[in-house]
């Protein structure tokens, strides 16, 4: 089958007809395309390997050489221009980068100064806060002492009020006792005076 297909392909090719699976199948009188197509491909591969490369005419070779030299020159010139453009772009980028770096360094220096000033301000504020905290602690201690003194005074006042209340009760009791005694004394005095008067009258009336 392979040799028959190769022979048919050779015959068709010599007749100026490109071998295809359909044409080869028609020449065979049947067969599967899946079987014929790979063999046709093998025949084409063998033909491409067997055919020698045609020689290039001298004029064509000269034209090719000239064209190659011209293309090389154009490519070299273009490459030089591209390299020069790249160098210029690199120089511009480097210049901009240096400028940005200098600006960044200035900004860093400025920020460092601000940071230093802020740290000094923070230290000052912390010192003031510490002093104020100490003053507050001292005042709080003093207030605590005064509160204790006040509480003691309040307690003393409460005790004094209780004593005064008790004394007032005693004074009221004593006043009542004194009033009773005074009444009894007055009755006793009246009784004694009346008895003395009766005695005197009795003595006067006797012969």
**What pLDDT, in 10s, does the model give residues 46-103?**
887 755 555 666 777 788 788 888 888 887 888 888 788 888 888 888 877 787 788 7
The burial class, CB within 10 Å (0-12 / 13-18 / 19+), for 199 is exposed
Cβ neighbors of 37 (< 8 A, separation 6 or more) are 21
Are 32 and 43 in contact by the 8 Å Cβ rule? The answer is: no
Alpha carbon distance 156, 150 (integer Å): 10
Name the average pLDDT for the chain.
82
Residue 5, token pair as written in the block:
């297909």
Whether the pLDDT of residue 137 is over 60: the answer is yes
Whether the pLDDT of residue 149 is over 60: the answer is yes
Of 12, 83, 10, 84, give the one whose Cα is nearest residue 51: 10
Name the pLDDT band for 192 (thresholds 50, 70, 90): confident
Mean pLDDT of 103-110: 78
């Amino acid at each position: 089958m392979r040799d028959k297909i190769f022979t048919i392909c050779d015959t068709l090719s010599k007749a100026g007809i490109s071998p295809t699976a359909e044409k080869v199948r028609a020449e065979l009188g049947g067969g599967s395309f899946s079987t014929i197509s790979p063999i046709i491909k093998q025949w084409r591969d063998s033909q491409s390997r067997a055919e020698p490369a045609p020689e290039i005419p001298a004029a064509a070779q000269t034209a090719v050489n000239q064209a190659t030299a011209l293309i090389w020159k154009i490519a070299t010139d273009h490459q030089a221009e591209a390299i020069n453009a790249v160098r210029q772009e690199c120089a511009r980028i480097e210049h901009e980068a240096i400028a940005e770096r200098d600006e960044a360094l200035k900004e860093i220096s400025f920020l460092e100064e601000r940071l230093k000033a802020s740290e000094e301000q923070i230290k000052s504020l912390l010192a003031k806060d510490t002093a104020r905290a100490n003053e507050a602690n001292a005042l709080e201690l003093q207030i605590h002492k005064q509160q204790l003194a006040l509480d003691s005074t309040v307690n003393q006042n409460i005790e004094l009020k209780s004593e005064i209340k008790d004394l007032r009760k005693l004074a009221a009791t004593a006043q009542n006792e004194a009033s009773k005694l005074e009444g009894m004394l007055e009755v006793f005095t009246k009784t004694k005076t009346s008895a003395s008067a009766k005695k005197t009258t009795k003595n006067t009336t006797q012969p």
